[in-house]
Structure 1
């Protein structure tokens, strides 16, 4: 079934106009009927401003404005234009780069935010106040039309805009059996402008539960949100999971309502997954692996202590394989590049149709991994993160898994730093519960890592630096080690 996002909202509003679609804690719920009404009004205002089919419109909103963002997103799409979701936490230079890169006609933004002077800019209220326009009847978008351009996190270089069509975003939606039917509420704390955040927006359109979030994540607030709404489904990133565990929220809040806890955006260390089972006693802990380029293709892994390093198997018609850089498949057990294939219309880089990331429907993930005989995928490392030390190649994921096993470690990130003889050696940055001397850590790792894998440099930090998508900024950590 090929649908558009606009059709999804129209159909849900018709079937359940008073149903709560999205709730920002402390604010009134956004119902499906009101969502459709406000988005249609906004679409008319945008067309009155001259926004046409295929025009790009930047959307800059903070977490407190999730409902306004949802209205703006669907309003842009209803006008036949392309939404460009952007975080309010971006540096001004990065924000301008992205708006310039996609050729944005204008920007719709949250109240009180300042955006670069690219075309026009307006809040939703600014647009509602305009009266000098003729009521428009935009031509409905088609499933193959572009719906959004989402920028990658840029952890290995300049962010790239990834275009997704309506058919890609709405894939699998609109069925009679709605996802997460075991829940009345689905709680998350993903930021706007990320692939995970966009997945939550689509869940608000299509899934059974109302999607609830909060203006600002802290472990206590998020746990209280879950308890207050008796959320049956929770989505987070590993960094949030670590904060929840370290804050001991399970001792102060009743989190027994959670039956499914999904982690996304980064690998979930097995030590963290094990701790989550104690914090959420009734939850199935699940790790999701995908990328902005590959979605909705993904692998899913319900935490299994017997397969601590696996990110699972492909689901819902998607496929995963290990291949050479040219895309030639490799046999089970052999390490190579991870490629994924979406069952939906594939995505593409905006303005770069010839990119080698996309090939014959397959997406090059930028990760190294292997697949066992039962089809379970194991990540070895980001291709750009592999540490080439002397004659050896070291997996930073493997090092991080071993370091996380130390009871004093809250979170850890491994990376390579220059060495005059070996070329590169392993360094690790740690946030700890109690003092941990480098030599004490190395003794602990002696039986868990090979000599060339043991960190030559150990940096203790209050918290690991992260980008807006929740991924560790290893470039910043590498700079700190190199400057000492």
Structure 2
């Protein structure tokens, strides 16, 4: 039983309600710190969010109205205030990357019906100053709380709507059950507007440690903060950049207990390198999507099962054929995750019916279940159909990452007059690598892959085209191959 005057021990059903609960429990604790810039305590966060909500109400913002939130990484604390303030007013927060071209930003705002945009610290400070710490909270559990746009790696970005019930599913009901209790701080550098960043914002409300982030990711700045944290969150692209930078040399990283990777499958060779650099840490692969969150699978990297992305709990994952019929253990099919209080696409009923079905979410991936573990084969849209073969680009990319001269790699299909398509690879060499050519790459892969999995074309790039979440934009990558690529046998 809670003591007199203590907050009740029950799950919070809205994000602002969760913030108020944390303020009552931990008012002076730092919730979010932007390294070298600013800190935000739970008391400040809740108080300023209430004032901002009051200011929005006075300006005529009504329940259900979408409000764009465009913030740079250095303004994470102001973003957090705006995010909860908008929701407290009963409106819908729409986080967006700050580096979008103006035309693209206008297009996304129009797609979700956002007429109002809050951008940057100065605007948040002005709204907070204009409001009052009004105790009113208009957030409702079943109401839409957030709209995020998908990464757009396989098509035009879609607006994904999530309710408060979705965002707060599984939050702790007791202060002794706060997550990541082994850490004093957790570190990340995810750009605002990505699903990974929104997970970190919820973590700031549900975890025992405070969130530490950077104004902008650079390997050296990120590495400098590692000795003071117990938990680290990365995406594969930043993990590779960090490992290859030399910034970790000489650091005592024994205090890091957990390294979580998200947004894309972590190549096994990269996971092995992380486990050597962080000797005390569990390397955890986290699998979800903007549509499926908070549903996910995760597992500690297991060298005996290097390609597995998650241990499966009963009823959490299923594999089906194209018509939705269940497939037996070991057969490759469409991956679905079960999601409580499922999300939906905004303004696209057909896509919603195709992706969200009776609490299940189609991930857009092909994979298989084997021995209680989930293995991915590829994105449905990335499988290369070459002659009689369907080729997993993930499998070829994993082998490329084992090459000592390869820092990053991506594989796509390019047109071929006979086969329909054949494999083409793009790599980023490590700084100390010598000359890397297609014959050497094919010879290396020939010891690991079948003949039909060997790329017929190679691009050597300074960097791969990626979105804000660190995912490779394969449609853009295909265009980088010269005209006529794939014309050979």
Q: TM-score range by the shorter chain?
A: over 0.9
| SS of corresponding position for 2:248 | helix
User: For 1:19-34, what aligned pairs fall within 5 Å after superposition?
Assistant: 19-34=29-44
1:59 alignment partner, one of 48, 56, 69: 69
Is this contact kept in 2: 1:20–1:210, CA < 8 A?
yes
What secondary structure is seen at the aligned counterpart in 1 of 2:304? coil
Are 2:398 and 1:401 equivalent residues in the alignment?
yes
Determine the structure 2 residue equivalent to 1:367. 365
3-state DSSP of counterpart to 2:376: strand
Residue 291 of structure 2 is aligned to residue 293 of structure 1: yes
Match of 1:231 in 2: 229
1: CA distance, partners of 2:84 / 2:482: 46
Matches within 5 A, 1:413-428: 413-428=410-425
Question: How many Å separate the matches in 2 of 1:436 and 1:331?
Answer: 42
Larger deviation: 90-99 or 198-207? 90-99
Q: Is the 8 A contact 1:417 1:482 kept in 2?
A: no
**Which residue does the alignment assign to 1:454?**
454
Matched, 1:309 2:303: no
Shift of 1:136: 6.4
What corresponds to 2:4 in structure 1?
A: none
Matched with 1:153 is 151
**Partner of residue 106, structure 2:** 96
Per-residue deviation, 1:318: 6.5
Tell me what 2:207 maps to: 207
Residue in structure 1 matched with residue 270 of structure 2 by the alignment: 272
Residue 373 of structure 2 is aligned to residue 376 of structure 1: yes
Q: Give distance in 2, aligned partners of 1:402 and 1:392.
A: 18
CA apart distance, 1:129: 5.1
1:351-374 CA deviation, whole Å, 9 max, x = no partner? 1234201111110100000000x2
**What does 1:85-484 align with in structure 2 at a 5 Å threshold?**
85-110=95-120, 123-128=123-128, 130=130, 138-176=136-174, 177-227=177-227, 230-314=228-312, 319-342=316-339, 344-354=340-350, 355=352, 356-372=354-370, 374-433=371-430, 434=433, 435-483=435-483
Superposed CA deviations along residues 122-142 of structure 1, whole A, max 9, x for unmatched, are 8213324548xx986655322
Name the CA distance, whole Å, in 2 between partners of 1:27 and 1:217.
14
- Stretches of structure 2 lacking an aligned partner (at least 5 in a row): 1-10
83-92 or 203-212, larger mean C-alpha shift: 83-92
Task: Report the secondary structure of 2:51's partner residue.
Answer: helix
SS at match of 2:198: helix
Q: Give the CA deviation at 1:110.
A: 1.0
Q: Are the aligned partners of 2:425 and 2:459 in contact in 1 as well (CA < 8 Å)?
A: yes
Query: Quick one: structure 1 residues 318 and 266, their matched pair in 2 at CA, closer, same or farther if it must change by over 3 Å?
Result: farther
- By how many angstroms is 1:2 displaced? 5.6
**Partner of 1:444: helix, strand, or coil?**
helix
Aligned-residue offset at 1:482:
3.8
CA separation of 1:2 and 1:184: change in aligned 2, threshold 3 A: closer
- Cα deviation for residue 314 of structure 1 reads 3.6
* 2:12/2:18 contact within 8 Å kept: no
1:475 Cα deviation from its structure 2 partner: 1.4
Instruction: Quote the offset at 1:195 in angstroms.
Output: 0.8
Cα gap change, 1:252 to 1:93, in 2 (>3 Å) = farther
Task: Provide structure 1 residue ranges, at least 5 long, that are not aligned to the other structure.
Answer: 112-121
Q: Does structure 1 conserve the Cα–Cα contact (< 8 Å) formed by 2:51 and 2:133?
A: no
Q: RMSD of aligned C-alpha atoms?
A: 1.6
Aligned 1:70-89 pairs, distance under 5 A: 70-89=80-99
Instruction: Give the secondary structure class of the aligned counterpart of 1:479.
Output: helix
Are the structure 2 counterparts of residues 74 and 314 from structure 1 closer, same or farther at C-alpha, using a change threshold of 3 Å? farther
Q: How far apart in 2 are the matches of 1:224 and 1:439?
A: 39
Query: 1:406: Cα distance to partner?
Result: 1.0
Residue aligned with 2:404, SS: coil
**What CA distance in whole angstroms lies between the structure 1 residues aligned with 2:482 and 2:388?**
22
Whether the 8 Å CA contact 2:264–2:287 is kept in 1: the answer is yes
How many residues align? The count is 467
CA distance in 2, matches of 1:422, 1:329: 31
